[in-house]
Structure 1
Amino acid sequence: MTRLMVLGMLRTKPMSGYEMQQQLQVSEVDKWAGILPGSIYHALKKMDKEGLVRVANVEATGHRVKAIYEITEEGDKEYKNLLISSFSEPSVHLPVLLYTGLSMFNLPNHDIDTERIIAAIEEQKQVLLKKMDDIEAGQKIKAQFIEVNELAKITFQNILDQYKLQIEFLDKIILAMTKGA
């Protein structure tokens, strides 16, 4: 995912790793995409060795030196392949660890503290609610800087719908556990 993001941003204009990181943070893409700041620099160095990007310029400001990268012709081909590939990968990822826990919980003769499990589910709900808030805030921030097109709008809505669906599922688990206790 980092490769696709970095190559995509470099298709818009040459930029430094720091500038890419700032764009991702301002738009809050880094939160839903799971891109860590250090992964941008790692990806740039690796793709430079692979010939997908190259240093177009080196700028010095004070004691700092920053490399400005640009995409190569090979990088553009790689970007197009990654983009097409991103649309073919299954887009639903099931919470298999949670499902496994639920199936184990249903086994007879378990001696498990249901209150602790419910507390853990509540913690998970709080994390999901926080992520929803972050996505909504990111959507508002993005709208301040650029016109949000229809694809971006439906993407944001789908992300929020996924969080809501999972929170509703967690609420149902809590209700079922509470009734069964």
Structure 2
Amino acid sequence: MSTTRLLLLGVVRIFQPAYGYQLRRELLTWNVEAWANVNPGSIYTGLRTLAKHGYLQELEQDGAHRPGRTSYKLTADGETEYFSLLRGMLWTVDGFHPDKMQATISFMWSLRRDEVIAALEARISQLESWLKAGPYSERHILEDPATPNHVVEMFRITNARDSGELRWTHEFLDRIRGGAYAFAGEPADWEPYPGMVTHWGEIPAPPDRAPDNQD
């Protein structure tokens, strides 16, 4: 649910105010039904649920509440929730839910470059720690007479995924350190083509940093 919530809040934040059908159509161009396990039919329901919880504001057309004809924009609480989810998924590795990192990549540009670099460094430390512990987990299984030996393969496939993500994270971090991509406070590095299903609106300005303490 957290991945779906981030996707919905994030896409509303980009296009707001936007109609439900626009948001649904945009998310389907991202193939979210394949990698995030988002049922296309549940997108309208998810938008209404976020509005019910105070994260989105519904702007109904002519007072009619129709899923496709209701437009949405983030509330202040929705903005806070968006950044909370985004940062939580970026800073914490969840090997059993790779969709969280994929969703994070979709909205990583709304954070500043230095935070993204720090978060990727933290992810590398987490992954290295898990991989270091892997052989001991395997040994525990193989030495436990009550556990079938084939269970060790569950740990091995998880370690293989973690190894692949570790390699990618190192490479991704190097690219970002080298100036790749655009982040909050930097000029955009791409322009949507005219035939896009929906159009990217003005990217909201990032929140100001807290002022440094002064003596």
Normalised to the residue count of structure 2, the TM-score between the two structures is 0.40
- Structure with bigger gyration radius: 1
Higher helix share goes to which structure? 1
